[in-house]
Chain A
Amino acid sequence: MTWKLALINVKKRWQDYLVLMMGLIISVSIFYMFQTLSLNVKFLEEVIPTISMVAFIFQLGAVLLGIITVVYIFYANSFLLSMRKKEYGMYMMLGAKKKKIKQMMTIETLFIGFLSMVVGIMLGVVFSTIMSQVLLNQLRVSSNQYNAFSFSAVVVTFIFFLILFVLTAITNASKFSKTKLLDLLHEDQQSEKHRPNKLKTISLTIVSVILIMIGYFSLWHVKELALAGLVIALFTITFGTFLFFAALLPAVISAFKNNEKFSRKGIRIFTLSQLSFKSSSLSKVLGMVTMLLALSLGAITVGDAFNNYKEALIKQAPYDAVIFNPDEAVSKEMAKLEGKEERLYHIKQNNEEFYFLYDELREQPITMNNQTGFTLKAKPFTEFNEGDSFSTNNGTEFSIMSAFGQIMNPYTSYLNAPVYHVVSQSEFDQAQGESGVIHVLMVDDFEGQLDIFERIDTLEMARFDLEDAETSNSKFALYSMISMMVSGFMFMGAFLGIAFLAMLASSLMFKILSGAYQDIGRYDMLRKIGVGKKKLLASIYKEILVVFAVPGILGTIHVLFGLKMFELLMPEPYSHIWLPFVIFAAIYLLYYFITVKLYQNIVLKSEKNQ
């Protein structure tokens, strides 16, 4: 009987449950995906041999996702409880025992949880498959090590969410025990206090603004404050945001409402009244939405910023290929390259001593990178005289040493203490050592001719007996390494972003829609006193716009300040933000329109038949 009643309940309000479950399902599937990735150890080892950092990044992402998921699940389930309170109250009036109802609640919570887990994991497998394809493509590696279905990932995901759902079921049941029957019955009439304590509002508002300011300040000066700055910002901004919605927003709306010059224009007073309802009943959700939005937008933006940073990193290698005494096969490949410039340097090598011709270096100066912070300035190296020798031992600058290093054969082992001599033709002829020719290639479009560079790389690896696992210093090797790391960041950013966005959307939509049932009467009343449908619609659009826009704007500002901390990792985190921002705004706007549509269907549907 209890079972049946519980399931009937779920069936009856499936629309509400669907909105709620969408968030649950997406968070389960993304959690699963992170688990698959970090548990596919072999895959990671194969794809990312040198940078164990990426694996670490994914673990970190999984932890962050886990924490946010815990908060979200608890939140979502407390929605469930409040949605059902009145019904539970009615069952109790009809003689149901509290114990039975608690059982029913537990069944419901676990049922929803179980369903979300099953669907979420299935969706996660699909996601993982698609993502691994895209990722592998991006990384230009083929792997059969990757399994989209990972049994251990399923187990971890299952256990994680099972624990969460059991915990929330227990929390809900104990919350329920503490509520009196009368309060249950009057759940939706529990109107908030309409006379907020002015002193409290003002002091909370001030505290909220100060907290947010402190947070922004410490993000802005994150270079000096380092880790402390991040921790301070995390706490102050989170609390500041929640206080903002608890105190400042309702106060501002109520100020507008009570300004009669402003509010007594058409239906405006009603819109404001609805908003002040929402701002107080949604204050926690709005706080949560703002933080999720900031996380989501931040993750996507940072992921994208790393992608753009790739270009900058690749520019550090001025030459697209450096080939020592090319053989026939390599020469053939080199000939295929389009838009290229080729430079030749004659060289004599005696162990770690290298001889260059003064005239050649004068005619085709090698490129030197001057590093200031993250930015590199390339300039030709010209400050040398005939007979100069350069080595770390005689105090040569690092940038000069690496300028020479750039034209060394990338497929030989690491040089401990190279010495570079710049000599005249006659001295060159006299010098001891093996002579050879270095071919330095620069093309107009490196990324467009990757296949050729890959073949050259493979040929050269074989020619110089490099094992697969060893990496050369060629630009192609650097390129693949960087794109692996960057893709890792980008994908993580994108997926965390999507996960947070899904949770955000479902919290906001759910809360607005579940409140909509209480709004039906208000819209009906307005219709009866002669407000046309157009005006009601306009009011709905405005009302929900504010509910979306305020957290949207605040969250965006959080992100703008938050990006500052990535200056620790990359040169210009702000340089390419418009694209992720625009995409995000488009998705957010879509959510807005869907919510308006659903809300409108609930509150205005009684239009004709009443």
Chain B
Amino acid sequence: MNHSVVSVRNLKKVYGKKGEKQYEALKNISFEVEEGEFVGIMGPSGSGKTTLLNMLSALDSPTQGEVTIAGNNITGLNEQQLSDFRATNIGFIFQDFNLLENLTMSQNIGLPLSLQGVSSRKIDKKIKTIAEILDITQILSNYPTEVSGGQKQRVAAARALVHQPQLLLGDEPTGALDSKNAKNLLEALRGLNRDYQTTILMVTHDPMSASYCKRILFIQDGMIFKELRREGSQQEFYQNILANLSHVDFSESQV
């Protein structure tokens, strides 16, 4: 019995104040993400992907429409409520890791739990669990400068997941990784999705990364113009994505 974790209805976002120069970054977007899904969002630069992600994570409020995450309508919450909502329901992976360089990996991972006032003993337990899942146990006492980019990103994923959020969001999480490290991270994400039914929504430029998803939404000019579901093997899906990309003027010049 699947129920939706993300439900977006008629979402519209206009930047700029009334009377000034306005820009409509999102135009009437609607979609659902069900529990345990692994969804990719693709689109050319400036198409509104980051804007969409910001709406989903309540970092910014939509001009129109509704966003419901895990049954909570987040459009009507105040700033404090939104912060608390993010802290408990959402995990974030950033393109450039955003680890605190002078904290050890385990201190970095434990950060969201400290924020929620979880006891020190429980924090240790949870860090241990997530570290085993993401295979980073042996670098827990290292500092970010001492490990590879792929490992850093897996630690960032651990930090995003340690408090067991309803939804894991990633804005080009593989953007700063070489292909080997990117694959490494994506495998880990796929494992999480498969074994723990973690709901993942990630923005990506890269067809290879996208091929790890089960479903892909293509955005252009603030609108969803195509949806692709993986039916066969990953290789087939990859070819399918490439074919779709060549249909539109997808400039990959910018990374």
Q: Mark B80-102, 1 if CB is under 8 A from A, else 0.
A: 10011111101110101010111
Q: Are A522 and B100 within 8 A (Cβ)?
A: yes
A528 part of interface (Cβ distance < 8 Å): yes
**CA of A264 to CA of B111, assembled, Å:** 8
**CA of A147 to CA of B140, assembled, Å:** 69
Q: A530-B83, A531-B83 are in contact. Are A257 and B103 (CB under 8 A)?
A: yes
B120 part of interface (Cβ distance < 8 Å): yes
Q: Mark B141-162, 1 if CB is under 8 A from A, else 0.
A: 0010100000000000001100
Q: A273-B102, A521-B98 are in contact. Are A531 and B110 (CB under 8 A)?
A: no
**CA of A533 to CA of B82, assembled, Å:** 11
Specify which chain A residues have a CB less than 8 angstroms from the CB of B113 in the assembled complex. Answer: 264
A532 part of interface (Cβ distance < 8 Å): yes
Q: Are A269 and B103 within 8 A (Cβ)?
A: yes
Task: Find B114's partner among A269, A277, A527, A532 (CB 8 Å cutoff).
Answer: A269
Tell me how far the C-beta of A274 lies from the nearest C-beta in chain B, rounded to whole angstroms. 8
Q: Are B107 and A527 within 8 A (Cβ)?
A: no
Specify which chain B residues have a CB less than 8 angstroms from the CB of A226 in the assembled complex. Answer: none
Task: Find A528's partner among B86, B114, B123, B143 (CB 8 Å cutoff).
Answer: B86
Specify which chain B residues have a CB less than 8 angstroms from the CB of A529 in the assembled complex. Answer: 86-87, 91-92, 111-112, 115, 159-160
**CA of A82 to CA of B189, assembled, Å:** 40
A268 part of interface (Cβ distance < 8 Å): yes
**CA of A265 to CA of B54, assembled, Å:** 28
B79 part of interface (Cβ distance < 8 Å): yes
Q: A267-B115, A270-B111 are in contact. Are A528 and B103 (CB under 8 A)?
A: no
- Give B residues with C-beta under 8 Å from A: 54, 57, 59-60, 79-80, 83-88, 90-92, 94, 96, 98, 100-103, 107, 110-115, 117, 120, 123-124, 143, 145, 159-160
Q: Are A532 and B102 within 8 A (Cβ)?
A: no
Q: Mark A270-288, 1 if CB is under 8 A from B, else 0.
A: 1001001100000000000
A178 part of interface (Cβ distance < 8 Å): no
Task: Find B98's partner among A192, A269, A522, A534 (CB 8 Å cutoff).
Answer: A522
Starting from the known contacts A263-B114, A530-B83, 17 additional A-B residue pairs (CB-CB under 8 Å) come to A194-B143, A261-B120, A263-B107, A265-B114, A266-B114, A267-B115, A269-B107, A276-B102, A277-B102, A528-B92, A529-B112, A529-B160, A530-B85, A531-B87, A533-B79, A533-B83, A610-B59
Tell me how far the C-beta of A525 lies from the nearest C-beta in chain B, rounded to whole angstroms. 4
**CA of A460 to CA of B110, assembled, Å:** 86
A99 part of interface (Cβ distance < 8 Å): no
A4 part of interface (Cβ distance < 8 Å): no
**CA of A191 to CA of B101, assembled, Å:** 7
- Give A residues with C-beta under 8 Å from B: 191-192, 194-195, 257, 260-261, 263-270, 273, 276-277, 521-522, 524-525, 527-534, 608, 610
Q: Are A194 and B92 within 8 A (Cβ)?
A: no
Q: Are A527 and B59 within 8 A (Cβ)?
A: yes
Residue of B nearest to A522 (CB): B100
Top 6 closest pairs, chain A to chain B, by CB: A530-B87, A530-B86, A532-B83, A525-B98, A194-B143, A264-B114
**CA of A62 to CA of B144, assembled, Å:** 49
Q: A264-B123, A528-B86, A528-B92 are in contact. Are A194 and B145 (CB under 8 A)?
A: yes
**CA of A609 to CA of B115, assembled, Å:** 24
**CA of A525 to CA of B59, assembled, Å:** 11
Q: Are B110 and A532 within 8 A (Cβ)?
A: no
**CA of A257 to CA of B104, assembled, Å:** 10
Specify which chain B residues have a CB less than 8 angstroms from the CB of A191 in the assembled complex. Answer: 101-102, 145
Specify which chain A residues have a CB less than 8 angstroms from the CB of B102 in the assembled complex. Answer: 191-192, 194, 273, 276-277
Tell me how far the C-beta of B120 lies from the nearest C-beta in chain A, rounded to whole angstroms. 5
**CA of A191 to CA of B144, assembled, Å:** 10
Q: A191-B145, A273-B103, A521-B98 are in contact. Are A610 and B114 (CB under 8 A)?
A: no
**CA of A608 to CA of B96, assembled, Å:** 21
Tell me how far the C-beta of B116 lies from the nearest C-beta in chain A, rounded to whole angstroms. 9
Most buried by A among B60, B90, B91, B115: B115
Residue of A nearest to B15 (CB): A609
Q: Are A260 and B120 within 8 A (Cβ)?
A: yes
Residue of A nearest to B80 (CB): A532
Specify which chain A residues have a CB less than 8 angstroms from the CB of B57 in the assembled complex. Answer: 528
Specify which chain A residues have a CB less than 8 angstroms from the CB of B112 in the assembled complex. Answer: 529-530
Q: Are B59 and A268 within 8 A (Cβ)?
A: no
Tell me how far the C-beta of A276 lies from the nearest C-beta in chain B, rounded to whole angstroms. 5
Specify which chain B residues have a CB less than 8 angstroms from the CB of A267 in the assembled complex. Answer: 114-115
Between A and B, 17 residue pairs with Cβ closer than 8 Å are: A192-B102, A194-B102, A257-B103, A257-B107, A263-B114, A264-B120, A266-B117, A267-B114, A268-B114, A269-B103, A270-B100, A276-B102, A522-B98, A527-B59, A527-B83, A531-B83, A532-B79
Specify which chain B residues have a CB less than 8 angstroms from the CB of A268 in the assembled complex. Answer: 114
